[in-house]
Amino acid sequence: MATVATETSLANNTSAATPVTVSVPTPDLAVTKTTTATSVNTGEPISYLVTVTNQGSASAPNVMLTDTPAGATVTSMSPSQGSCTPPTCSLGTIAAGGSVTVAVVLTTSTPGTVSNSATATTTGAESNAGNNTGTARPVTVTTPVTGCTAVGEVHGDGHWKFVDVGGKKRDAHVEVEGNCDLDKKTNTVFLHHAHVKIHVDGEELDVKAKTDDHHNHVATVIIVDGDAIVTGMWNGQPFLVTLRDGGEHNHSTDHGDVMDAQYGAFDTATLTRDHVNVHINDD
């Protein structure tokens, strides 16, 4: 006779599987945008650095970056990888943990405030799309000072020596004069006359900027506490001469007078100073 076994409980015959979470690798683009500029004059460039970082666990394919300025125009974009046609860059693929930088230059034309943002996108499904835009701090754009800032006179005379690329010894001479007067009727300071001469012996560089005879090459003469800055335009190129009156007016090279001139690629700061003589009267 056969014996049939009977279960005492059927409740434990089924076992539930433990859920398993499967993580799918995804990209996550994060954008930052910075600038060191806080204020510029109209017409001056503003430089920015955009960094696009993939903080995700998978590569980000077909990354595009778009720059969106307000109050300025994008004039150049230079990426560390990919290519740009302002205001957009095609940055290709950014690996997980990798980053790409883009140097951006804006040009201003009107006074006001410049704001600038950059946004990155990818054809990959991102884990977080809320950090795809980076915004730089605002930059103030002002109209440059014209004329004079104070009553006074500026005189500067400097000589420098250098050796050109062909091995020839050259001499550079810079001469500056500016006279700022007070109009007693209107109680305003005006630029009476000024001139800037920059000459390099044996070279084509020969700047003869002035305000005399209806020429307006010299735009500003800024005088502050024994210092002066003279600016203007010659043949479509800006020039800048900075001066400091050290109080000793002689032709030695170790007194306190300072004078530097910039015009295009010409910069006396890169040359060997022979002598400089500066006198600034701002009484």
Q: What is the pLDDT of residues 210-250, one digit of tens each?
A: 887 667 788 889 998 889 999 988 887 889 999 999 875 44
Judge whether 216 lies within some domain: yes
pLDDT at 9: 64
Same domain, 272 and 162: yes
The band of 253, judged by pLDDT with boundaries at 50, 70 and 90, is: very low
Domain of 151, in residue numbers: 147-281
Q: Which of 111, 142, 173 is the last residue of a domain?
A: 142
Q: Let me know whether 129 and 52 are in one domain.
A: yes
Q: Is residue 3 part of a domain?
A: no
Residues 183 and 277 in one domain: yes
In a domain, 88, yes or no: yes
Task: Identify the CATH number of the domain in which residue 95 sits.
Answer: 2.60.40.1530
Are 99 and 177 members of one domain? no
Q: Is 146 helix (H, G, I), strand (E, B) or coil?
A: coil
Same domain, 132 and 38: yes
With a cut of 70, say whether residue 1 has pLDDT above it: no
47 and 122 in a common domain: yes
- What pLDDT is stored for residue 115 in this prediction? 95
For residues 67 and 118, the answer to whether their CB atoms sit within 8 Å is: yes
Residue of 170, 167, 145, 149 whose CA lies nearest to 159: 170
Q: Which residue has the higher pLDDT, 72 or 250?
A: 72
Instruction: Please tell me whether residues 115 and 186 are part of one structural domain.
Output: no
Q: Is residue 247 part of a domain?
A: yes
Cα separation, 204 vs 199, in Å, equals 8
Per-residue pLDDT, averaged over 141-147, amounts to: 77
Mean pLDDT, residues 181-204: 87
Q: 129 in a domain, yes or no?
A: yes
Give the whole-angstrom CA distance, residue 116 versus residue 262: 30
Strand partners of residue 174: 158, 198
Rounded Cα gap, residues 251 and 256, in angstroms: 11
User: Do 35 and 121 fall within a single domain?
Assistant: yes
Q: What is the pLDDT of residue 252?
A: 40
Residue 7 included in any domain: no
Name the average pLDDT for the chain.
87
What is the rounded CA–CA span in Å between residue 147 and residue 29? 49
Asked if residue 65 and residue 129 are part of one domain, the reply reads yes
pLDDT confidence bin for 11, thresholds 50/70/90: low
Percent of the chain with pLDDT over 70: 88
| pLDDT tens sequence across 86-142 | 999 999 999 999 999 999 999 888 889 999 999 999 999 999 999 999 999 999 988
Summarised one tens digit per residue, pLDDT across range 159-189 is: 999 888 788 888 999 999 999 998 888 888 8
Sheet holding 73-79, edge to edge: 29-34, 45-54, 99-107, 73-79
Q: Can you give the pLDDT at residue 117?
A: 97
User: In the listed set 121, 142, 163, which residue is the last one of a domain according to the structure?
Assistant: 142
In a domain, 14, yes or no: no
Query: Looking at 91, 115, 142, which one is the last position of a domain?
Result: 142
User: Are 101 and 163 found together in one domain?
Assistant: no
**In a domain? residue 174:** yes
Beta bridge partners of 163: 169
| Confidence at 22, pLDDT banded by 50, 70, 90 | low
Say whether both 175 and 125 belong to one domain.
no
Angle at Cα 37 formed by Cα 34 and Cα 43, nearest 5°? 120
Is residue 100 located within the same domain as residue 163?
no
Give me the number of domains the chain comprises.
2
- Of 165, 193, 166, the closest CA to residue 179 belongs to 193
Residue 145 has pLDDT above 80, yes or no: no
How many helices and strands in the chain, by DSSP H and E? 0, 22
